[in-house]
A and B are shown apart, each in its own frame.
Chain A
Amino acid sequence: MEGSLNMVGYGLAAIGPGVGIGLIFAAYISGVARQPEARSVLQGIAILGFALAEALAIIGIGLAFAL
């Protein structure tokens, strides 16, 4: 077995965005469950929040390969 410690570090770093994305979609699902007619409004906001939280994980994988 060989590999880079960077990948272990990336695994740890991905915990944060993972929790964040989970919270965003949990809020989106409960929002739609309470008010199904608000779905179209909530969808764009949820995807925007998902994209912003995901950026952290993506920067992490970029640095894991680059450093």
Chain B
Amino acid sequence: MNAWRTVAMSEEFHAPGPGDFDYPPLFGWFTKPMLIVVLGTLVVGAFFYFASRRASIVPGKLQFAAEGFYGFVRNQIAADAIGREGIKYVPYLATLLAFLVALNISGIIPPLQFPATSKIAIPLFLAVISWVIYNYVGIRRQGFGGYFTNMMFPSGVPPLIYPLLAPIEFLSTVVFRPVTLTLRLTFNMFAGHLVLLLCILGGEFLLLHVRGLVGFSAGAVAILFGIVMTFFEGFIQLLQAYVFVLLSAIYIGGALTHDH
């Protein structure tokens, strides 16, 4: 302890924590996460507007990118998870994926460098939209009683299991699905941003505020690890946007079919 104090001189390193996610307002009540949400919306809107404005049979570069994106959602997510009826839900799923990718990837884009989805309100709102859609679709397809009966009493199960299974299935569909959708995205982004903060701030502290070779080499390793983690975090951000959309599609598909 004392040896560490003398190495670290008089200053002490303050590890990043949940407090680093509270930004002071830029002006009025407008904070940095809000700015990222607005920017993300504008970027996604502009991308699809300019990609589809002069749509031609032989696509240009932008149109090709948008068609590839839309085709990915249609063939890899909607067709696999929902089936033939999935085509109807592709506009929602594609918008959701584009919006989530824009908000997640802002965590590694230099001037922003904060994943807006690590604020729980944004994933919560999107999860509630998905929750409303799959419950509405299920109730419309199977009727109110039919939907809950098929959900809580799936066929092909011994009747003795029903007292145990019915409450679990009900809670899982109505409560746990939106909650886990929200928490999974929020805390993936939260934990990833915290790891990046720790690597970069800790590396900076070791490089600049700790004297000697030990501090310098440890700081260089920490900064390099931070760079590697930045790319890994970019991968995680794309993957989590995909997982959110895939699970939404699977829930919609499950509500459309009678037995899962």
Contacts and interface: CB of A to CB of B under 8 A. Distances in A.
A50 B183 CA distance: 15
A48 B250 CA distance: 9
* Interface size range of chain A in the complex: 10 to 19
Contacts of B183: 55, 58-59, 62
B180 A47 contact: no
Interface string B224-251: 0000000000000001001100110010
B81 A51 contact: no
Interface string A27-46: 00000000000000000100
A49 B136 CA distance: 26
Q: Which DSSP category, helix, strand, loop or mixed, fits chain B's interface?
A: helix
22 contacts: A1-B1, A44-B80, A44-B81, A47-B239, A47-B243, A47-B246, A48-B250, A50-B243, A51-B243, A54-B184, A54-B188, A55-B180, A55-B183, A55-B184, A58-B180, A58-B187, A58-B191, A59-B183, A61-B187, A61-B191, A62-B183, A62-B186
Interface of A: 1, 44, 47-48, 50-51, 54-55, 58-59, 61-62, 65
Interface of B: 1, 18, 76, 80-81, 180, 183-184, 186-188, 190-191, 239, 242-243, 246-247, 250
